[in-house]
Amino acid sequence: MADLTTNFLGISSPNPFWLASAPPTDKEYNVRRAFEAGWGGVVWKTLGEAGPPVVNVNGPRYGAIYGADRRLLGLNNIELITDRPLEVNLEEMARVKADYPDRALIASIMVPCEEAAWKAILPRVAETGADGIELNFGCPHGMSERGMGSAVGQVPEYIEMVTRWCKQYYDRPVIVKLTPNITDVRKPAAAARNGGADAVSLINTINSITTVNLDTMSPEPSIDGKGSHGGYCGPAVKPIALSMVSEIARAQETAGMPISGIGGVTTWRDAAEFMALGCGNVQVCTAAMTYGFKVVQEMIAGLSQWMDEKGYESTSDFVGMAVPNVTDWQYLNLNYVAKAKISQDDCIKCGRCYAACEDTSHQAIAMSEGRVFEVIDEECVACNLCVDVCPVENCITMVQMQPGEVDPRTGETVQPDYANWTMHPNNPAAQAAE
């Protein structure tokens, strides 16, 4: 069977599934239950400096976005970092690490952007035996209004500065957690590398207001008639996370930098996708909060079975394999031609493909007597909309036309599918080189 043991920054864990810094990792009781359920590691909920206590709201902290079947698609939270005393958290972390030496335990930290504050807390964290630290530069609510969290993560110079302090006063791996609330995530990632960071983790939550209560006219979650922006997470943010991960993985300034993937990981397949785009492991929060800690057992079983089927002996065999296939639009092969095909055996005659194509796309699907739907090749541009709206998986597929066939839409002969698109004659860069 496939070996899911993961080595990330020299930190070994029995599998690549870690719990992210969040309510599920707020205390010893939770973390012990998580490890017993099978999680490979945890990032302890963000610690703050000793001093005035953090005070969370005593009311709703989460807002939700649901699918049509009330399946949870996203959570918006307004919870701050841990409101438990620093001393208590450190004592619990030390006990947990001593009892579970084979599991990864990372301390998430957020203190003011002052060297003295970091210099004071880092030795205390080191005494717990934690395997590393994660710098929370991503929280978009509450703490950012106090000059921490994403207020730091949006300024590359601050990221580099604080990372240097941490590498100076702490001798174990330093992971920088990045905010998605920024135009170009490559810049803070490069700043983290310049500061000496051992890895980056992303994405943190997205600045959001999920819903407005139209009776009270206040955003949800509502506290005494008022609401605030919060951090959005869950399955809905996964596409954004994958894109940002891929940008860091293929950027020259950050190529090869270890990445811990975060953002909507709910199944083993989600995890495999993050890892294929360069992540050495993944962090999970919303799935655990939705289904409980034992959801990791399905993730472990699914990833193991898929790896066996593909012949991968370890996770390192496929980490980063998809990165070379991520490119910019201008390098896509314009000689590639495909057409939609509808399986009449699988079609349930709902007409979604027809309505979508006729009203909003290219009028490339005809409906004949008996609600039989067929593709009009002359009009089909293979946009994939019919595939995406069809409720029956694999009922509609995109079939590549072979070189030498005549494209009925243009009357032109299909050209070879160039393997090396960088030298493709339609590539502007190749034309300029000539």
Q: How far apart are CA 185 and CA 100, in angstroms?
A: 35
Q: How far apart are CA 296 and CA 71, in angstroms?
A: 19
Burial of 351 (0-12, 13-18, 19+ CB in 10 A): middle
Among 74, 92, 82, CA closest to 24: 82
Please identify which residue in the block is written with the tokens 């070996």.
Answer: 3
**Would you name the residues annotated as active-site residues?**
139
Q: Strand 104-109 and strand 174-177: pairing? A: unpaired
Asked if residues 4 and 14 have their Cβ atoms less than 8 Å apart, the reply is yes
Asked if residues 159 and 127 have their Cβ atoms less than 8 Å apart, the reply is no
The dihedrals phi and psi of 263, each to the nearest 5 degrees, come to 135, 90
Dihedral in degrees, nearest 10, Cα atoms 307, 308, 310, 314: 50
DSSP string, 164-229: HHHHHH--S-EEEEPPS-SS-THHHHHHHHHTT-SEEEE--PEEE--EEETTTTEEESEETTEE--
Q: How far apart are CA 258 and CA 103, in angstroms?
A: 19
Among 135, 111, 108, CA closest to 23: 108
